[in-house]
A and B are shown apart, each in its own frame.
Chain A
Amino acid sequence: MNELLIDYLKSLSKLNLNKLFNNRSSTLTIFRLLDDGHKQLISNLLFNSHSIDKKSVSLLFKDLDYKLLLELNIITSDKESIHLNDSFTQSLTQLLCGNTIEPLSKTITTTIEQLDSFATHQWEIILHYMVGNYTHTPSKGVLFLLENSNLITTSKKTHNITSNGFQFLLQDVQMQLWQLLLQYLSLSQIRQMDLVEVLSFLFILGTLELGKDYSIDTLTVTQQAMLSDLRDYGLVWQRKTSSKRFYPTRLATSLTSSAPPLLPTNSTSSFTTSSDNKRFIILETNYRLYAYTSNPLQISILNLFVTLKARYPNLIIGVITRDSIRSALSNGITADQIIGYLTSHAHTQMHRNNPLLPVTVSDQIRLWELEKNRLKADEGVLYEDFRSQPDYEILLNYANSYDCVLWSNDSKRLFFVTLEGHQIVREFVKRRLPGGGSNSRSGSGTSTPAAAAPAPAPATPSLVLPS
């Protein structure tokens, strides 16, 4: 979550960052995102004239790189010294001196369990949908977001999980949440929403208290509009859509903390905090896979690359086959992702083995992937019909000196150069071989089919090479 968010903050303009620093919740969140060393530097400056010369920094810290702080506009630097941003200082000092963020209301009218189950339910709908379990369909806004984040692809009313989507499922909930929310932020600009208001509302959510209700009156129009989207993600709960109050769920209050964002509500829940429950897969050398789980989400994920054979109340038996892996690969899931998933969820019994997964299986999965990647397509131009061998050799040597030859065949006097190389070689042909020693064919028939190549011939002039 940290790097994701920091990278995003880095991309913001100085003006937007300054606006964020005016908000105490945002300031606190950004402060907490930083490294310990950076926090220490800021703390040192906070009550001490807000500036320090660069020499002193190197005296105080053994190896501190404060480039990030400059990028985030928290400090500014001139020739000799660095200064702390005024708004940042002011917000943080106020926070430290006791002006905490006051809750908007303190009446407890709903139970935390209710909120937890709501958040878990909403979030599970999204994840289940991604792996092709369509019992509940998330709202259009969520679908739009998922497609825009390139997590699923839609074709002819069916949704397929992408490679990114699979990677997404392997992450913990907080990472997933932030990945979606950052996507939401980048879309918010298109929807004419003020970026700073959206971001600071997310940061405010992170500082609210679970189980308390908050009035929407203090929110801006943009932030009120966000509420319906956030409800779809399970971040906030409202009694009615027109309700004047909202309740942040655990997903929201843990946005900027390290507490677990979802608590297991029942035995089939996908979100368990204990690491033992994450380790449930036994993989045998005969490609058989036993998964001790009854969790529908995990089963759906396994179903992406395993042919399931039998299901018992707490156990799934399946086989890894060439077809099952190929179908996963064709969705864009890579062999490394599959092996990574199997490794991180391997049963404790498997941890006795060294290496963890049977080598036969992991190697075979990689081989199946290589099978798919036998062909490599490059765009370029084929040179053919040379009149004489010397002509051919001069041109080939010239092209070789520019390192743009992708393939050549001496006996047939053919060679293939990249598109960039074509310009150079053509100039050379015009200059040196006025008779027009060869034809450069840039038509459609330039691809030489490699043996047993299942890949479609590229439309642009290109050569397909056995890799």
Chain B
Amino acid sequence: MTTTSNHLSLVVDLKNKNVTLESCKQLLVFINLHLCVTDLNSASIHLNNRIVVDTNEDDGGFNDLSKVFLDAVKDYYDKEAVESTSSPSSSSSSLATTLAQSLCHINRKINDQGTDASNTFRILILAASDDVPSHYVSLMNSIFAAQKGKIVVDVCELYNCNTIFLQQAAHLTGGNYIQATQTDCLIQYLIMAFLPNHELRKHVVQPRSDKVDFRAACFCHKRIVDIAYICSVCLSIFCHPPQRCSTCDSPFPARTLAKFGVEGGANGAQQTHAHAPRNPSRLRE
């Protein structure tokens, strides 16, 4: 049997844009299809820092699963509505933290199954919100962790969101990035792009985005920048050359700072295109 077991972690981010009930239902059908492919497949849904459902643990039928998920989405919007009336724009997207949590969840499964198991894991991020530059570092840390664990991160964007970080996430981990502009046929996007497992993707022509926006957010002001100053020790990114690196505390050479006309002496800093650090195993803040 060529089919191997595959765990799909679904990270749903609903902030800012409302997702229709129709989309949720189509998403559920997709999960059901994933579970139908072989009896070894499993799935878990992560929403707003919470594991809504994991088919390995709670052994309910599909109806239970859909009920739990739809209730969770409803709860989320209800709570959101209350919060936004009391203090507008207080909470921000929980994508980065939810992604980190799903990675932890997967990591626990990997540790549980031991060394000889052939289970493979992947994450599908369903994003309905824009990038939050302040989450850049934690998001990138998660992405590098996924890359190291050979976990494919697929990204499906609903409504024209502008999330260059997630584009990079899909690119770095070898996943697919899709913008589902017509949400009424969301299921077809999901099936075509995200149903095939790692093995099958080699044999299927997949939608690939040639252009990946590699811009990064600076560590000091969390702004997305084209050109930035990079600490030569820890590769942190800054939009303005600082006296000392805020991450590793190494001083920028005075001469380099001076070259850029920064007050504080005849110092200088390297200026580089801020193609987010190519391959640092982790970024620190």
A interface, CB within 8 angstroms of B:
2, 28, 31-32, 35-37, 39-40, 43-44, 46-48, 59-64, 92, 95-98, 100, 256-259
Interface magnitude class on chain B: 20 to 34
Q: Which residues of B contact A97 (CB under 8 A)?
A: 29, 32
> In whole angstroms, how far apart are the Cα atoms of A47 and B200 in the complex?
20
Closest to B25 in A: A97
Contact of B200 among A32, A36, A96, A98 (CB under 8 A): A36
> In whole angstroms, how far apart are the Cα atoms of A92 and B66 in the complex?
17
> In whole angstroms, how far apart are the Cα atoms of A47 and B184 in the complex?
12
Are B200 and A40 in contact, CB atoms less than 8 angstroms apart? yes
Q: Which residues of B contact A44 (CB under 8 A)?
A: 191-192
Q: Which residues of A contact B205 (CB under 8 A)?
A: 59-62
Contact of B195 among A40, A100, A259 (CB under 8 A): A40
Q: Which residues of B contact A36 (CB under 8 A)?
A: 2-3, 37, 196-197, 199-200
Contact of A96 among B1, B2, B36, B199 (CB under 8 A): B36
Are A37 and B203 in contact, CB atoms less than 8 angstroms apart? yes
Closest to A27 in B: B36
Closest to A63 in B: B203
* B76 in the interface (beta carbon within 8 A): no
Q: Which residues of A contact B38 (CB under 8 A)?
A: 32, 258
B interface, CB within 8 angstroms of A:
1-3, 28-29, 32-33, 36-40, 61-63, 66, 185, 187-188, 191-192, 195-197, 199-200, 202-205
Contact of B39 among A46, A98, A258 (CB under 8 A): A258
- Determine how close the nearest CB of chain A comes to the CB of B67; give it in whole angstroms: 10
Q: Which residues of A contact B204 (CB under 8 A)?
A: 37, 40, 60-62
- Determine how close the nearest CB of chain B comes to the CB of A188; give it in whole angstroms: 26
> In whole angstroms, how far apart are the Cα atoms of A367 and B152 in the complex?
53
> In whole angstroms, how far apart are the Cα atoms of A61 and B201 in the complex?
9
Q: Which residues of A contact B188 (CB under 8 A)?
A: 47-48
> In whole angstroms, how far apart are the Cα atoms of A366 and B240 in the complex?
80
Are A100 and B203 in contact, CB atoms less than 8 angstroms apart? no
Which residue of A31, A44, A96, A258 has the most chain B CB atoms within 10 A of its CB atom?
Answer: A96
- Determine how close the nearest CB of chain B comes to the CB of A245; give it in whole angstroms: 21
- Determine how close the nearest CB of chain B comes to the CB of A15; give it in whole angstroms: 26
**Known pairs A28-B36, A37-B203, A60-B204 / 6 extra A-B pairs, C-beta < 8 Å:** A32-B39, A36-B197, A40-B196, A46-B33, A100-B62, A258-B38
- Determine how close the nearest CB of chain A comes to the CB of B66; give it in whole angstroms: 6
Contact of A31 among B36, B195, B202 (CB under 8 A): B36
Q: Which residues of A contact B203 (CB under 8 A)?
A: 37, 61-64
Are A259 and B39 in contact, CB atoms less than 8 angstroms apart? yes
> In whole angstroms, how far apart are the Cα atoms of A46 and B36 in the complex?
13
- Determine how close the nearest CB of chain A comes to the CB of B122; give it in whole angstroms: 14
Are A258 and B199 in contact, CB atoms less than 8 angstroms apart? no
Q: Which residues of A contact B199 (CB under 8 A)?
A: 36
- Determine how close the nearest CB of chain A comes to the CB of B239; give it in whole angstroms: 44
Q: What are the 7 tightest A-B residue pairs by CB atom distance, in nearest-first order?
A: A257-B39, A36-B200, A43-B191, A96-B32, A100-B61, A62-B203, A100-B62
A–B Cβ pairs within 8 angstroms, 17 of them = A31-B36, A32-B37, A32-B39, A36-B196, A36-B200, A40-B195, A40-B200, A47-B188, A48-B188, A62-B202, A63-B203, A98-B32, A98-B62, A257-B39, A258-B1, A258-B38, A258-B40
Closest to B34 in A: A43
Closest to A60 in B: B205
Which residue of A35, A36, A46, A60 has the most chain B CB atoms within 10 A of its CB atom?
Answer: A36
Are B2 and A46 in contact, CB atoms less than 8 angstroms apart? no
> In whole angstroms, how far apart are the Cα atoms of A13 and B265 in the complex?
88
Closest to B37 in A: A39
Are B63 and A35 in contact, CB atoms less than 8 angstroms apart? no
- Determine how close the nearest CB of chain B comes to the CB of A100; give it in whole angstroms: 5
Q: Which residues of B contact A61 (CB under 8 A)?
A: 203-205
Are A46 and B37 in contact, CB atoms less than 8 angstroms apart? no
- Determine how close the nearest CB of chain A comes to the CB of B263; give it in whole angstroms: 59
Closest to B28 in A: A98
Q: Which residues of A contact B37 (CB under 8 A)?
A: 32, 36, 39
> In whole angstroms, how far apart are the Cα atoms of A225 and B61 in the complex?
30
Given A36-B196, A62-B204, A100-B63, check contact A47 B187 (CB 8 Å): yes
Q: Which residues of A contact B63 (CB under 8 A)?
A: 98, 100
Q: Which residues of A contact B66 (CB under 8 A)?
A: 98
Q: Which residues of B contact A259 (CB under 8 A)?
A: 39
- Determine how close the nearest CB of chain A comes to the CB of B56; give it in whole angstroms: 13
> In whole angstroms, how far apart are the Cα atoms of A256 and B36 in the complex?
12
Q: Which residues of B contact A37 (CB under 8 A)?
A: 200, 203-204
- Determine how close the nearest CB of chain B comes to the CB of A93; give it in whole angstroms: 9
Given A36-B3, A37-B204, A40-B204, check contact A46 B191 (CB 8 Å): yes
Closest to B196 in A: A40
Q: Which residues of B contact A63 (CB under 8 A)?
A: 203
Which residue of A43, A47, A61, A92 has the most chain B CB atoms within 10 A of its CB atom?
Answer: A43
